[in-house]
Structure 1
Amino acid sequence: MYITITAQKIDGNYAQSSADFVSYLEKENEGKIMEEQEHFFNQYGDEISAEQVINEIDGNTAKLKKSEPKFYSITLNPSARELRAIQDSPEALKRYTREAMKQYAKAFHRDIDGRSVSVNDIKYYAKVERQRTFKGTDKEIRENQPYATRILELKQQIRGIASGEKSGNIKLLHKEIQRLEKEAPHQLGGKRIIRGMVKPGHQSHVHIIVSRKDASNRFSLSPGSKHKASEVELHGKTVKRGFDRDTFFKNSEKTFDDLFKYKRNYVETYAARKTFLKDPKKYFSMISGLPTNERAFAYKLLSKTGVPIPKIPVNTVQLTYKAINRIKKGIGKAIESGSIGI
């Protein structure tokens, strides 16, 4: 499970309305009949309209400055293996989202009216998306790019010839384009993979838009806080502040496992990813210490991301700085594309 939390921005500035973001989340519903559309939901309701989401989020911004984010976006990105475990069920993802948002509330080091923050204090709306499209950061797009560039050049030549500005054989240029289209290394359904093309397989994930202010519109609840847990004096009172992302990520992961009886391998854990980024040698050492079956499965999962895997026991491997960076880049690209399989 790969989870992200981001403050929504437009052209470097914090968005003053959620309208553009909500419109973006509605893109999958275009052209679909009502029965096939995915609707917004929250902790207690389903089939919430986009208009209601915009009104509720935009109307819950009391005393926030223009320089402060009005809302945050959380994405829950299950791996292909996790989606198979729940049979790619939208209802299962909704159930999980509601439980994960309880963990989100618990991660705040805040008091509201003398009690800890609960999910009832969180104003959020979520939406299941069933598709992903290829982006410029994806391996398929990057490796197809030389072919795309050459094809564009040839099409420009054809337009120049057709307009009389250039001379040449249009028929031969069309044949060259056809050859390049077929020779591009990454194809889908007999066509060269391009940006915006829908990815195959299970791609379901959840987008959540959550208000910066609590449901009463009185307290600021920022998951972007630099503090995990601290206390400050404000108007003569001691006020708690902070949000613990590590706790949220780890507890959300455990929630998925408990809900669906999912047996998570070490390399699928948030703790493992964090260890890898800090100390790659320790990461592979941990894998080498797993029981035989779990270790073999760990390497199998990693290989699906395109990450280069050591071929000999890790305790005898001297991972060079260059090799470590190559592995980091492999995992990083997989995560960016939303296609990481672990």
Structure 2
Amino acid sequence: MPISKPHSTLGATNTSSCIDLAMYLEKENNELDKLLKKTKSIDEARQIENRKQFFFSHSKNNISTNEVISSIDKNIKKLGKKDAKYFAPTINFSQQELKHIIQSVTDKKEVENVWELNAREYELFNDKIKEYTKLIMNNYAKNFNREDKGLKSGNDLVYFAKIEHFRKFKGTDDEVKNGIYKAGELKPGVNSHVHLIVSRKDKTQRLKLTPTTKERSTTRTIGGNTYHVGFDRMKWINMNEKSFDDFFQYKRRQREMFINQYILKNGSPKEKETLLKRIETKEQTIENTINHAKNRTRNTSKGRSW
């Protein structure tokens, strides 16, 4: 399933400016700039330049890093010095999901990495991920249960997202420990994912939104005013999984479903055993149905007289 994590931050404090995070997310463009300096071909330089990714919001593309920093840092009305000013969710896809997205824009083309996509395919691939990111941020807004206060969709948030296509090995990775790769080397395959910077306050700067809270959904009344607090992270992931399957017309296998993976990881031995039996039964039923349809088609074809 798409793994959506509402991180507090990515290594920097989120109680002050987001400048460090925003500049950190320029790392892939900085790598491409290094390649540009080495090339002497105008065509190759153009191709490298077109590979760069810029920030986007719910309604705008190609947003500069300076605009991101300014927008997030100014959207802090009534937040204290030690209050969180922003959060840094990430969206990560499985290899099966990435393969499916690529196939949807390349007519089932097999690729080893995004460099194998031509300019048009690369653009379509990124556009699909951008549209899906907006669906996730609609779910993000809805999951705070504040529609009565005007928080209805991602358009009511102040957020910026950027797609990255590469990951590097770290010293803690098993592949590095076993000497297969060195720390800092690019991981093989398609590794596209999304980083977001989301303001703690909504666009009106009236609502405080905390996706890392331990409360899932609580109703409080203070001074005669009733309001909701909380954010159900598991519900958000389930919503995002459904949005992915609907948007990309993805037929998710039972073993890929978040709720099943959660039980297989955290459930009791009995729960795991029961679930595995149910999954095996459903998968066998699906396989039998597919095989029956194939045999029926084959037999019908043999009986035709042209």
Counterpart for residue 4 of structure 1: 5
The amino acid across from 2:100 in the alignment is A
Contact 1:40 1:49 in 2 (8 A): yes
Secondary structure of the residue that 2:279 maps to in structure 1?
coil
Distance 1:287 1:219 in 2: 43
Gaps of 5+ in 2: 34-47, 103-113, 115-124, 287-306
Counterpart for residue 157 of structure 2: 122
What is the percentage of aligned positions where both structures have the same residue? 35
1:91 to 109, 124, 127: 127
**Post-superposition shift, 1:82?**
0.4
User: Structure 2 vs 1, CA of residues 242 and 198 (structure 1 numbering), >3 Å: closer, same or farther?
Assistant: same
**Post-superposition shift, 1:275?**
1.0
1:89-109 CA distance string (max 9 Å, x none):
222111110111111111112
1:112-151 CA distance string (max 9 Å, x none):
54x453222111100110000011332102223xxxxxxx
The two structures have a TM-score, normalised by structure 2, of 0.75
1:65 aligns with 2:108: no
Q: Give the 4+ runs in structure 1 shifted more than 4 A.
A: none
Contact 2:7 2:89 in 1 (8 A): yes
1:220 aligns with 2:208: yes
Residue pairs, 1:304-323, within 5 angstroms: none
Distance 2:211 2:72 in 1: 16
User: Structure 2 vs 1, CA of residues 272 and 137 (structure 1 numbering), >3 Å: closer, same or farther?
Assistant: farther
Secondary structure of the residue that 2:265 maps to in structure 1?
helix
Instruction: Give the length in aligned residue pairs.
Output: 248
The amino acid across from 2:58 in the alignment is Q
**Post-superposition shift, 1:206?**
0.6
Distance 2:176 2:254 in 1: 30
The two structures have a TM-score, normalised by structure 1, of 0.67
Contact 1:222 1:243 in 2 (8 A): yes
Distance 2:14 2:62 in 1: 28
Counterpart for residue 92 of structure 2: 77
Contact 2:16 2:85 in 1 (8 A): yes
Counterpart for residue 41 of structure 1: 56
Counterpart for residue 172 of structure 1: none
Contact 1:99 1:255 in 2 (8 A): yes
RMSD in angstroms over aligned alpha carbons?
2.2
The amino acid across from 1:8 in the alignment is T
Gaps of 5+ in 1: 145-185, 187-192, 298-342
The amino acid across from 1:20 in the alignment is D
1:251 to 227, 239, 252: 239
Contact 1:77 1:206 in 2 (8 A): yes
